[in-house]
């Protein structure tokens, strides 16, 4: 089911979305998006995808800590971008019905997903019951999705109303964040990336393991790394697991802490990222 954004924006919604503005383009932005989804609609995880490319979705970021599965949000989002977007029938139908500039709320329950693999990996195994996705076609498509754990049950009508009301403001912030993530010169990325790889290698990582670790810490998804390096997606997963073991980290947040990011944004391969 989906709803176009025609709802009254309440003071709490304005307050929550206003908190996003100072963090646009910064490392803290993904956490603020998750906070907004949590406060508005009781979501436990969130992910943002750029849908404008010809090769399928690109994971912009994924947030949320799973009690049993380290890096679940990142892994599930990467799997969606690599494979499962092709069987996301609900999103395809909604996209076909939207006009340019529309922002819609797309609610999808686990039981509505026909693909057995998609439902198992992204919903059943991690215990996710529902996706509340904001979707737009304005100057490049983006998808911002919040996910509710099975223990919370389905979103109430009031929770759906709140996230729908926040839709235009939240998606405008997401769009601007994506734009800002493409603005610092590529050689700044190269210098930073090489330093990160060398630091990881000093801890016993192989060249490829260090490259994967540095790329993940910089915000690149596993599917993107596989495509850029010309290796299988499963190989990237293996390199990541080896890197985590050798660095004694369990999540991407801990990985970023290892590289001592502080507040600086890490450019992604082939892009230029604005620092703050």
Report d(CA 218, CA 143) in Å as an integer. Answer: 21
Tokens of 40: 């508005």
Report d(CA 255, CA 37) in Å as an integer. Answer: 24
Q: Which residues face 104 on adjacent strands?
A: 4, 135
pLDDT tens for the 276 residues of the chain, in order? 444 444 455 667 778 878 888 888 888 899 999 999 999 999 999 999 988 767 778 888 899 999 999 889 988 998 999 899 999 998 888 777 766 677 889 999 999 999 999 999 999 999 999 999 998 866 568 899 999 999 999 999 999 999 999 999 999 999 888 877 655 434 445 667 788 888 999 999 999 999 899 888 877 888 888 877 778 888 999 999 999 999 999 988 889 888 875 334 444 444 333 333
- Which residue ranges does the chain devote to CATH 3.30.450.80? 2-180
- Which residue ranges does the chain devote to CATH 1.10.10? 186-258
Residue 47 CB partners (closer than 8 Å, separation 6+): 59, 61, 62, 63, 73, 76, 77, 80, 144, 145, 147
Ramachandran assignment for 141, one of left (phi > 0), alpha (psi -120 to 50 degrees), beta (any other): beta
N- to C-terminal Cα distance for the chain? 39
Question: What is the CATH T-level fold of the domain 2-180, as seen in this structure?
Answer: Beta-Lactamase (3.30.450)
Tens-digit pLDDT profile for residues 168-182: 999 999 988 887 765
Say if CB 178 and CB 268 are below 8 A apart: no
Tens-digit pLDDT profile for residues 225-234: 887 777 888 8
CATH number of this structure's domain 186-258:
1.10.10
Say if CB 133 and CB 112 are below 8 A apart: no
Q: Side by side, which strands form the sheet with 103-109?
A: 2-4, 103-109, 128-136, 142-149, 45-50, 58-63
């Amino acid at each position: 089911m989906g709803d176009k954004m025609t709802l009254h924006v309440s003071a709490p919604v304005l307050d929550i979305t206003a908190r996003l503005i100072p963090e646009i383009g910064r490392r803290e932005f993904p956490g603020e998006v998750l906070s907004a989804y949590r406060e508005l609609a009781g979501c436990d995880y969130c992910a943002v995808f750029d849908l404008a490319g010809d090769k399928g979705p690109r994971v912009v970021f994924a947030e949320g800590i799973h009690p049993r599965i380290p890096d679940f949000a990142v892994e599930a989002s990467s799997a969606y971008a690599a494979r499962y977007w092709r069987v996301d029938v609900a999103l395809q139908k909604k996209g076909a019905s939207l006009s340019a500039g529309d922002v819609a709320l797309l609610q999808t329950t686990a039981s509505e997903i026909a693909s057995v693999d998609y439902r198992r990996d992204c919903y059943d195994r991690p215990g996710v019951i529902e996706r509340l996705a904001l979707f737009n076609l304005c100057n490049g498509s983006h998808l911002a999705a919040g996910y509710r754990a099975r223990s919370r049950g389905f979103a109430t009508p009031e929770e759906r109303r709140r996230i729908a009301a926040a839709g235009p403001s939240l998606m405008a912030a997401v769009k601007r964040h994506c734009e800002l993530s493409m603005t610092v010169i590529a050689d700044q990325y190269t210098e930073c990336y090489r330093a990160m790889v060398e630091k990881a290698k000093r801890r016993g990582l192989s060249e490829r393991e260090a490259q994967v670790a540095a790329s993940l810490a910089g915000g690149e998804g596993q599917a993107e790394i596989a495509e850029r390096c010309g290796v299988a997606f499963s190989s990237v997963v293996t390199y990541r697991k080896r890197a985590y073991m050798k660095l004694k980290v369990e999540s991407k947040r801990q990985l970023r802490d290892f590289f001592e990011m502080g507040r600086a944004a890490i450019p992604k391969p082939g892009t230029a990222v604005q620092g703050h």
